[in-house]
């Protein structure tokens, strides 16, 4: 699935002239692994998100990130919450990448992380099961 992203290396392979540097960090890397996992900007977002959520995942590419996301954690609710947060993270990074390309600016990673937490919390409240432990409810606030 990750090979379908229209990253710059894929656009170049189909013959389009595009810059080879990452739009987020400026380094010479254009793979989906770099854009969504390895980029220093993405690592800043991910590290801050993991720090506030007390997570310590070990992965260095999209396949390993996906494998980590599908491992059961302490509770089904918490596993789904983490998957939701990481989906929001990937979406936010993609939006920052587009903003870097089209508007020439990106948000500070702290602001991105705060927005992810706010968005996910608002969405989760609507589908929160009745039997959720208080510590799981407090986890995102
Ligand atoms: Zn980068």
What ranges do the domains of the chain cover?
2-138
Instruction: Say how many Å lie between the CA of residue 45 and the centre of ligand 1.
Output: 12
Mean pLDDT, rounded, for 101-120: 93
So what's the pLDDT on residue 9?
66
Instruction: Say how many Å lie between the CA of residue 122 and the centre of ligand 1.
Output: 29
Q: What is the percent of the chain with per-residue pLDDT over 70, rounded to a whole number?
A: 82
So what's the pLDDT on residue 40?
96
pTM above 0.85, yes or no: no
Report pLDDT digits (tens) over 36-83. 999 999 999 999 999 988 888 889 999 999 999 888 777 777 888 888
Instruction: Say how many Å lie between the CA of residue 111 and the centre of ligand 1.
Output: 18
Whole-angstrom distance, CA of residue 21 vs CA of residue 13 = 15
Whole-angstrom distance, CA of residue 13 vs CA of residue 44 = 29
Instruction: Say how many Å lie between the CA of residue 21 and the centre of ligand 1.
Output: 8
pLDDT higher than 90, residue 18: no
Instruction: Say how many Å lie between the CA of residue 124 and the centre of ligand 1.
Output: 30
Q: Residue 79 contacts by C-beta under 8 Å, 6 or more apart in sequence? A: 72, 73
Report residue 122's pLDDT band, with 50, 70 and 90 as the boundaries.
Answer: confident
For 57-125, the DSSP string reads ---SSHHHHHHHHTS--S-HHHHHHHHHHHHHHHHHHHHHHHHHHHTS----HHHHHHHHHHHHHHHHH
Instruction: Say how many Å lie between the CA of residue 52 and the centre of ligand 1.
Output: 23
Instruction: Say how many Å lie between the CA of residue 32 and the centre of ligand 1.
Output: 10
Q: Which of the 8 DSSP states describes residue 2?
A: G
pLDDT higher than 70, residue 136: no
Instruction: Say how many Å lie between the CA of residue 81 and the centre of ligand 1.
Output: 26
Instruction: Say how many Å lie between the CA of residue 141 and the centre of ligand 1.
Output: 29
């Amino acid at each position: 699935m990750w090979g379908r992203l229209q990253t710059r290396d894929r656009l170049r392979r189909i013959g389009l002239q595009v810059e080879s540097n990452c739009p987020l960090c400026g380094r010479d890397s254009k793979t989906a692994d770099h854009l969504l996992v390895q980029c220093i900007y993405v690592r800043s977002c991910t590290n801050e998100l993991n720090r506030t959520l007390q997570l310590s995942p070990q992965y260095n590419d999209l396949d390993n990130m996906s494998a980590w996301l599908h491992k059961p954690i302490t509770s089904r609710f918490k596993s789904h919450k983490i998957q939701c947060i990481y989906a929001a993270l990937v979406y936010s990074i993609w939006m920052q990448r587009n903003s870097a390309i089209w508007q020439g600016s990106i948000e500070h990673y702290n602001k991105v992380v705060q927005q992810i937490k706010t968005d996910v919390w608002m969405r989760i409240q609507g589908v929160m099961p009745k039997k959720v432990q208080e510590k799981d409810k407090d986890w995102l606030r």
